[in-house]
Amino acid sequence: MAILSSNLVNSIRVAFYAFVSYLLLTDPKSVLEYEGLIILASSMNMPLLLTTEGSSIYGALALLLFMTALSDLVPLLDGNHGYFEATIPTRLLVHFALVFYSYMGGNPIISNSLIFGYCFMEIWFSVLIFSSLREEKVERAKNEQKRALELKDKYERGELNEEEEEKLTKDLQEIEMKKIMREFEDK
């Protein structure tokens, strides 16, 4: 079992992005001149992004970060693990490519401390979420298999109540339908 569940890491990620978007709206200097960001950017030879008072770009960045947090909050509250299992590897790929591009000294607009810091945090959160999602997926599969074996044993002994029998029948129909659909896809 993972030390941190994917729901917890996702919740921390959403809260972090909401907090950073709030800081970008109220005090962008605190984000751009954060010591951790400066050390990270300096160690990777990234140019530091300087603040300009009253720039409207900080509002756009804050809105973008907030919408990113909100777009992950809804599937998180819904318990939609499939969404995260599909998007996290894609995010990792995109952010690794962006970090590589900015590190190699690509476009100066993209090769700066803020972009590098954002990508670094996104990669860190995504790796944590990805590893815990994989462990949780294996655990869910084991639990589902255990439950199916218990139902099968009850069925063979004739101990199923009406609700469990309907559930078993429905599950078997779904499995059969998936097999049929796979046969059509293979042709």
Asked if 97 and 127 sit in the same domain, the reply is yes
114 and 36 co-located in one domain: yes
Asked, for residue 1, whether it belongs to a domain, the answer is no
First to last CA, the chain: 40
**Which domain, by its residues, includes 13?**
6-132
Torsion sign (Cα): 68, 73, 78, 81? positive
Do residues 59 and 148 both lie within one domain? no
**Whether residue 162 sits in one domain with residue 145:** yes
**pLDDT digit string (tens) for the chain, length 187 residues:** 567 888 999 999 999 999 999 999 998 888 888 888 889 888 888 888 777 777 788 889 899 999 999 999 999 999 888 899 999 999 999 999 999 988 887 777 888 888 889 999 999 999 999 999 999 989 988 888 888 788 777 777 777 777 877 877 887 788 888 888 888 777 6
Q: Whole-prediction pTM value?
A: 0.78
In angstroms, the CA 86 to CA 94 distance is 13
